[in-house]
Amino acid sequence: MNPWLKFVSKRLAGLVVVFFAASFLVFSLLYLAPGSPISFLLGNRSGTPEQIAAIRAQYHLDDPFLTRYAAWLGGILHGDLGQSIVYRQDVAALIGARIPTTAALVGYASVIILIVGVAIGLLAALRPGWVDATLRGGMTVALSTPPFVVGVLLILVFALSLGWFPVFGAGRGFADTVWHLTLPALALAGGGAAFLGRITRAATRGELARDHVETARARGLGESRVITRHVVRNALIPVVTVAGLTVASLVAGAVVVESVFAVDGLGSLLVRAILQRDFVVVQALVLLLVVTFIVINTIVDVIYLLVDPRIKA
C-alpha cells in the first residue's frame, strides 16, 4: 500500500471515530442539561398549553434521546445539517456566514503567534542576560493576562485614544478586514505567542547544550550554520507540536475576543447555541471543530516528516 494513501486513510478513520465520540458526548450532555429552546419557539407571552404541545411535537423536543440523535445523524449522512430552531435558517447558512470571519481572525492570530512566538523564543535563547530576562518577563505578563483585559486595553489605547483602529466589527474586503481584525488578532494571539516563545526558548536552550552542537562548533562550523542546521532544526519538533495545538485551540478560544470586539464568529455562535440548546447548531459546530483539529494535526504530522526524516509516515 502506498504509504501516503495509508497515512490519509488512517487519518480519515481517526476523524470518523473522534467525530462520533465527540458528537455523541456533546449531544448527550446537552440532552441531560436542564433548559430548552422553548422560549425561542413561543416568545415570552403566548401559547396555550395545546399550542405549546403542538410546538414541542413539531420540533421533536420530547422524542427520546436516541431517536433525536439518530434523526440528526441520518440528516448528516444525507448532507443535511438541519435547521436552527432559534434562528429558523439552515445551519449550513448560519455557519457558512461566520466561517470567513473566524478563519480570518484565527489565521491572522496564528501568523502572529508563529512569527512572534518563534522570534522572541529564539532571541531569548540566543541572547542570555538582559534581553532574555526582559523577554521572559514580557512573556509571563502576556501569558497571565486574560485576552479580554488585553482586548479592552487595546481598544482604549489604539481605538479610542489614538483612533488608529476601529472599535468593533470584522470589516469587508481584504485591507478593511486586516485593519478591523488587527486588535482582535493581537488580543487573541498574546497568550499563544508567549507560550510558543517559552517552548521555543526551552527547546533551543536544550539543543544548545547538547553534544552534537559542541561537536559542530569544535569542528569549526560557523555559528549561524550551527544555529540553523543543528540547533533550530532539532528544536522544531516540540515547537511545531505546540504551535499546532495552540492554533487548533484558537477557534474555541476566540469566543471572548469575538465578544469584546463584537465580531460575530463561530466561537460566539457556539457558546450561544449551547446556552440556547440549539442542538443542531452545536452538533454542526462540533463536527467542524473536530475536522479542523484533525486537519491541523495532520499538517503538523506532515511537517514532522519534513523536519525529521527519521519519523515515518
Partner 1 sequence: MRGRRLAAALTAALLAAGTVSGCAASRALAPLGAADLTTVTTAGTHDAGTITWNLPYEPFTLDPLKSFNYAENTAIANMCESLLRLKPDLTTEGALAQKVDSPNPLTWVYRLRGDVTFWDGTAMTARDVVASLRRNLDPAAGTYWGQYFENVRSIDASGPLEVTVRLKQPDVLFNKAMATAAGAVMKADFIARAGSRLGNPQTGVMCTGPFKLATWRSGDHMLLVRNDHYWDPALRPVSGALDFRFIADETTAVNALRSGEIDGQYFYLPPANISLLRLADQGRLTAGKSLVGFTLIGAAATGPFADPRIRQALLSATDRQAVSRVIFQDTALPARALASEEYWGYERTTFADAYAHLPDTRVDLAKAKALVAASGQAGKPITIAIQGSSAVHAMAGSILQATGRTLGLDIRIRTVPVEQYGNLYVDPQARKGIDAFFSTWYGNVADPLDALSTFTLGNRNNYNDYATVDAALRAARAEQDPARRAKLVVDIQRHVTEDAPWLPLEQLPVLLYQSKRITGATASFAYLYYPWAAKLGTP
Binding interface with partner 1 (CB under 8 A): 34-36, 38-48, 50-52, 54-55, 58, 83, 86-90, 93-94, 97-98, 101, 137, 140-146, 149, 152-153, 155-156, 159-160, 163, 166-170, 259-262, 264-265, 269, 272, 275-277
Question: Would you say 64 or 222 has its CB closer to partner 1?
Answer: 64
CA distance 42 to 165: 41
Q: How far is the CB of 280 from partner 1 (least distance, A)?
A: 14
Question: Would you say 264 or 301 has its CB closer to partner 1?
Answer: 264
Per DSSP, the residues of 70-110 read HHHHHHHHTT---B-TTT-SBHHHHHHTTHHHHHHHHHHHH
Q: Which three cell numbers stand for residue 258?
A: 469575538
Q: How far is the CB of 71 from partner 1 (least distance, A)?
A: 17
Per DSSP, the residues of 18-71 read HHHHHHHHHHHHHHHSS--SHHHHHTTT---HHHHHHHHHHTTTTS-HHHHHHH
CA distance 239 to 303: 11
3-class secondary-structure state, position 294: helix
Q: How far is the CB of 122 from partner 1 (least distance, A)?
A: 21
Q: How far is the CB of 285 from partner 1 (least distance, A)?
A: 13
3-class secondary-structure state, position 225: helix
Side-chain-facing half-sphere of 95: CA atoms under 13 Å: 19
Question: Would you say 145 or 297 has its CB closer to partner 1?
Answer: 145
Q: How far is the CB of 171 from partner 1 (least distance, A)?
A: 10
Side-chain-facing half-sphere of 87: CA atoms under 13 Å: 18
CA distance 57 to 68: 12
State phi, psi for 83 to the nearest 5 degrees. Answer: -120, 135
Nearest to 15 by CA among 287, 252, 247: 287
Q: How far is the CB of 200 from partner 1 (least distance, A)?
A: 18
CA distance 263 to 271: 14
Question: Would you say 7 or 59 has its CB closer to partner 1?
Answer: 59
Question: Would you say 58 or 215 has its CB closer to partner 1?
Answer: 58
Q: How far is the CB of 137 from partner 1 (least distance, A)?
A: 7
The owner of cell 398549553 is 49
DSSP-derived letter for residue 83 is: B
Question: Would you say 208 or 269 has its CB closer to partner 1?
Answer: 269
Question: Would you say 16 or 167 has its CB closer to partner 1?
Answer: 167
CA distance 92 to 8: 26
Beta bridge partners of 90: 83
Question: Would you say 55 or 252 has its CB closer to partner 1?
Answer: 55
Q: How far is the CB of 277 from partner 1 (least distance, A)?
A: 8
Question: Would you say 42 or 103 has its CB closer to partner 1?
Answer: 42
Q: How far is the CB of 107 from partner 1 (least distance, A)?
A: 18
